[in-house]
Amino acid sequence: MTISESTTLFHKKKVVQYDPDIALQPGQDIVYRLSLDYDDKRKMPDLIAGFLEKADKHALEALIIGMWGDPYEAGADEVIAALASHAPQLPNVRALFIGDMTYEECEISWIVQGSYKPLLDAFPQLEELRIRGGNELSLDAFAHQNLRKFTIESGGLDQKIAQALSQSSMPKLEHLELWLGTDDYGFSGDVALYRKVLAQLATPTLRYLGLRDAHIADELAAWLANEPLLATVETLDLSLGTLGDIGAEALLQGTQLGNLKRIDLSHHYISEANQEKLRALPFEVVLDDPQEDDEDDGEVYRYVAVGE
C-alpha cells in the first residue's frame, strides 16, 4: 500500500485544492488544501499569506498544507513559522493537517518535517492536529488543553517522539493515532515506551487508540489485550502492520477488551483459523487485506503497509 490520493475529507469537511486564480468558495463545509508543485517558483509562506488575504480569517476553521516545494530537502519549519505568525488573526482555527502528500509527491519517509511546539503554542484553541512524515520530526513535551485528535503518520517513528508524548498532556484527547512503521525507515522504541505513552495520555475521554503500521504489532497486541487503560476505548486500531497469529491469539484471550466496539486489524498475517475465531468476538473485527509471509533462504519476512 502507498498513499496514492490526497485527503478528500478532513475535520468533517470536503477538501478543495486552493487555486489563487479562482475565487474562494463560500460556506463552512469545505477546507482548503494549499500545495505547491515541484517547479513552482512561489514559497509556501507566500501562498499562505495570499490565501489568508482572500479568506474570511475569522470564520476559518481548518486548513491543510500539502507539498511545500521540495519537502524531501526543505523541512516544514518555515511553514510552521508562517502559520504561527498568522495565528492571532485565526481565532477559530480548530484543525490543521501538515504534510498531505501522495507518494508521487513525496514518499512518506522522505518528507522532512519540523518542530511542532511553536505551532501548538500558537494555536491553543486547536482541536485536531495531523502530521504526515517522521523524518526530522521534532516534538518537545507539551501541554495542550483543547486537542481532541492527535495523529502522526510515518514510515518510522523515532522514540524521541514517543518519549515527548509520554511527558505531554492532552486532557480532552479522544483520538490518538500513531503510525510506528519499521526500523528500516526510522522506527525506534518498544512496547515499554508505548505503555508509558498510553499511561500518560489515556484520558477518560479517549475513545480511539491507533498504533498502526507497526512492525511490532504482535507485541503491541499482546500488551493491549490485557491493558486496563483500554477501559474507555471503543476502537482499537492495529491495522497496516505485521500482526500475525501471536497477536491474534493474545487478542482472543484478552481480559481487557470487553468495552470495545471495534478492532481494526486490516493488512494482517493471521491464519484463516484465527480469523474465524476473531470474527466470533462480541464486537466488530475488521480483517481486510490479508497478507502472506515472504520466505527467503529460510527467513520469514513481513512488511508494514506504509514504509518508504
pLDDT tens across 157-182, in order?
A: 999 999 999 999 999 999 999 999 99
Give me the count of residues in the chain: 308
Condensed to tens digits (0 to 9), the pLDDT of residues 83-93 reads 999 999 999 99
What residues in the chain have per-residue pLDDT under 70? Answer: 1-2
d(CA 275, CA 296): 26
Which phi and psi (to 5°) does residue 277 adopt?
Answer: -65, -40
Residues 6 or more apart in contact with residue 164 via CB below 8 angstroms? 139, 140, 141, 142
Which residues lie across from 179 on neighbouring strands?
212
**pTM of the entire structure?**
0.95
Q: What is the pLDDT of residue 189?
A: 93
Q: What is the pLDDT of residue 106?
A: 85
